[in-house]
Each structure stands twice: as C-alpha cells, then as structure tokens.
C-alpha cells in the first residue's frame, strides 16, 4: 500500500491492483497495434480485438442511439406512412389506448372562454375534420349541449370510412344521425362550399403534413382549415406536443428504425403557422396512453395489438418484423410507468379522465398542444362562460 499526496489530498492506492491495471492497459494497447498492423492469425486477432474493445470501451463515452445515415428512400418512407394513416385496423387499436377524447375536450372548453367574440352557441353548424370514430367529437359536443348549446348540423370528413362508428358515438350523446353528413375525403380535396360556427381539427393534420414538408404548403393547409369558420366562428386544432416521454420514445424509436430524425409534425409547429391569427389561445396539457391491456396480451404471447399500436404511433411497418418488434418493445420499457408512480396532481387528473381505472395501470405519459382560433371579427364581448357552465 502506498500513499499519494495530490494538492494536500491523500489517496490510498493498492500497488498490486495498480500493477494489474497497468498491465492490462499495456496489453490492450499492444493488441490495438497488432490489430491495426494486420499481424497474427485470425483466431489470435479475434481474441485481441475483443480484448482491446472491452478494455477501452469503459474510457469512451457511450454513444447512445447513434444517428446513422438513413439508407431508406424517403419516398418509400412516405408511402409506408401514407398506408398506415388509412389502415383502420391499426387505428382502432391505437384509439382504444387514448385519453385524448376527454383531455382535449376539457382543454377546448377552457380556451373557448378565453378568445374574444364567440357568443353564438345556439343552432351550431360544426365541421369535424378527421373526426374518426367520433369519440373526441362526442365528448366535446356533449359538453356544449350540457352548457345549453344546440347543434343543428355536423359535416364530418375523413379519408377513412368511420361513418357507422361516428354516428353511433354522437348518437350516444343525443345527436341524431340525420344531423350528420359524412364525406370520405382528406382536407386537401374537400371543397369549401360554406362556413361553420365551429371547425374541429383535433389530431387530424398529421397525414397531410407528412406528405408536404414545405412550410408554405403546410401553412396553406392550416389556413384552409381555419378559413372554413364563420366570421363569428372558432377553429380548434390539436396535435401531440414535442415534449414529454411519448415524443422522446418516438424520436428514439425512429432513430433505431430509420437512423434519421423522421418525425411527425407537432403542436409546436402550429405556433409559427398561426401567427397571423391574433385572437388565438393555446395551452399544453397532460394526457396518457394506456397500454395495460396491450402489454398484458403481448406478455401472454399475443403480439398483434402491440404490433398495431406501435405501427400507428410510430408510422413505421412493424407487423411481420419480429426483431423490430422486440427491440421497440425493449425501448418502450424505458418510458412506460404505472399510474401510481406519477405525481399526485397527475394521478388525480388521470383518475378524473379515466373513469376509475386502477392505479396499477401502465401508461405512456403524453402531452398535447391545443389551439383555439377565435372569431375573425370581434365585438369586444366575452363568451358566455360555457366552460364554467360545464363545471
């Protein structure tokens, strides 16, 4: 045992341990020289390569999720993603895991009260862009009706045929099917024949934005949606936020699959596209993706629902890719948490929106950014307090 004194600090050093360490480092360095000089037999070189690697890797910073050059044709990626967006079977699985229908609706009500000039809440005409199965729309319209509004007509457009599910969802909250007009179309092709009191575009702009990366085209799409509201009307738009655990998981997963940062548009991107609309309010709020049942089935040997969920959430082909599924499942474990491990405020919020789901449920924390674009012309009047009426 020797004592080392370094700037008045004393360190005890085991000489035998130090000698072993120096010997190993020397051997590893020699191994590196032999490897680079192409000396030695194949077996010896393999051993020395292994020795050199395990000795020196502890001194290098690990390169977590290195970004390799994407060797997949961008057009092929776009085609795959376009197909997944309209795959109803994956959509059904994905939508069952969401609490967004509840959290988005409450947020929308808060923001409606903050914009100026929206006072007409009777005989509302609603345009629902990408309304899907109607779960979110039904919650939002139920709150409107509970606050004293009446809904006279709804136009729903979606590239996937959800007509039966949509009518059933809205029928459950008292809106008859004869007030609903469904058109199977994307927002790009939908003709602007009239305007509406409320335009909903909740989580429905990912697909068209995926097809057009040019900022001016995206801005045109957003303007097209918002222009469909009446002078006195409002437009409500929402997208996933580019913060939080779910987005971080998506980023790492896509780096793993493609080796490049290929991501969906996020709520933050809308901020720059809405700058000309001064009567606009927005907020970011917590939501959760409940994966309890899907993970339970996967661990029991049924991989189908996890394949479908991952495929839609990431917009990446997963079904039939066994190794990809396993690696994505392993990565997902780093981000999911039981509800009881959340903060006290998050637990209370989850319990409020999840209809009494147990705190042992496994969730992927998720954040959403929602915008409410107010009337084009305002009278200075305040809204009628519909969110307070709902409370």
Block means of pLDDT (10 residues each) for the chain, 391 residues, are 43 50 54 42 42 38 42 77 93 92 88 82 92 94 89 96 96 93 92 93 90 86 93 93 92 86 77 85 93 98 98 93 96 97 92 87 95 76 39 35
Q: Are the beta carbons of 65 and 255 closer than 8 angstroms?
A: yes
CA separation for the pair 241, 365 (Å, rounded): 11
What pLDDT is stored for residue 317 in this prediction?
92
Q: Which helix (H) or strand (E) holds 315?
A: none
Q: Tell me whether residue 152 is exposed, middle or buried, using C-beta atoms within 10 angstroms of its C-beta: 0 to 12, 13 to 18, 19 or more.
A: exposed
Kindly give the pairing relationship between strand 151-158 and strand 180-184. Answer: parallel
Residues 6+ apart with CB under 8 A from 13: 1, 2, 3, 4
Q: Which two tokens stand for residue 68?
A: 């390799």
Burial class (CB in 10 A: 0-12, 13-18, 19+), 42: exposed
- Alpha carbon separation from 104 to 40, 163, 164, 202, 264 (Å, rounded): 66, 22, 23, 8, 19
What are the residues whose beta carbons fall under 8 Å from the beta carbon of 180, sequence distance 6 or more? Answer: 153, 154, 156, 166, 167, 170
21 vs 216: CA distance, rounded Å? 61
Residues 6 or more apart whose CB falls under 8 angstroms from that of 18 comprise: none
CB 116 within 8 A of CB 375: yes
Residue 282 pLDDT: 92
Q: Which two tokens stand for residue 169?
A: 């969802």
The b/e string for 226-238 (b: 16+ C-beta within 10 A; e otherwise) is bebbbebbbbbbb
Q: What is the DSSP letter of 383?
A: P
pLDDT score for 52 = 41
Say which DSSP state 360 is in. Answer: T
pTM: 0.77
Alpha-carbon distance 264 to 251, whole Å?
10
Looking at CATH, the fold of the domain delimited by 74-390 is given as Rossmann fold (3.40.50)
For the chain, what are the domain ranges? 2-56, 74-390
Q: What is the pLDDT of residue 9?
A: 40
pLDDT the model gives residue 168: 96
What's the confidence (pLDDT) of residue 14? 53
Structure tokens belonging to residue 259: 């080796």
């Amino acid at each position: 045992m020797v004592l080392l004194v370094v700037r008045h600090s004393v360190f005890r050093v085991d000489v035998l341990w130090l000698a072993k360490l120096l010997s190993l480092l020397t051997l590893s360095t020699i191994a590196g020289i032999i490897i680079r000089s192409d000396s030695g037999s194949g077996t010896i070189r393999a051993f020395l390569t292994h020795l050199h690697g395990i000795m020196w890797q502890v001194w290098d910073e690990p390169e977590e999720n290195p970004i390799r050059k994407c060797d997949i044709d961008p057009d092929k990626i776009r085609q795959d993603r376009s197909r997944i967006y309209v795959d109803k079977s994956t959509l059904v699985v994905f939508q069952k895991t969401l609490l967004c229908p509840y959290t988005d609706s409450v947020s929308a009500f808060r923001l409606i009260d903050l914009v100026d000039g929206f006072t007409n809440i009777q005989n509302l005409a609603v345009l629902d862009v990408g309304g899907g199965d109607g779960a979110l729309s039904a919650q939002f319209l139920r709150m409107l009706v509970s606050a004293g509004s009446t809904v006279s007509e709804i136009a729903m457009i979606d590239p996937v045929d959800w007509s039966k599910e949509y009518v059933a969802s809205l029928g459950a909250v008292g809106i008859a099917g004869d007030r609903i007009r469904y058109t199977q179309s994307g927002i790009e092709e939908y003709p602007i024949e009239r305007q509406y009191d409320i335009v909903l575009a909740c989580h429905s702009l990912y697909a068209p934005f995926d097809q057009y990366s040019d900022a001016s085209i995206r801005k045109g799409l957003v303007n097209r949606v918002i222009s469909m509201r009446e002078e006195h009307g409002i437009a409500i738009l929402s997208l996933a936020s580019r913060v939080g655990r779910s987005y971080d998981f998506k980023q790492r997963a896509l780096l793993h699959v493609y080796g490049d940062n290929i991501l969906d548009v996020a709520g933050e991107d809308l901020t720059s596209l809405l700058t000309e609309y001064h009567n606009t309010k927005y907020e970011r709020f917590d939501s959760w993706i409940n994966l309890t049942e899907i993970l339970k089935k996967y661990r029991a040997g049924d991989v189908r629902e996890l394949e479908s969920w991952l495929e839609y959430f990431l917009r990446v082909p997963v079904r039939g890719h066994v190794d990809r599924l396993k690696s994505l499942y392993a990565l997902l474990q780093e981000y999911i948490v039981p509800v009881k491990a959340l903060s006290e405020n998050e637990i209370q919020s989850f319990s409020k929106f999840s209809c009494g789901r147990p705190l042992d449920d496994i969730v992927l924390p998720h954040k959403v950014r929602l915008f409410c674009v107010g009337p084009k012309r305002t009278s200075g009047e305040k809204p009628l307090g519909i969110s307070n009426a709902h409370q």
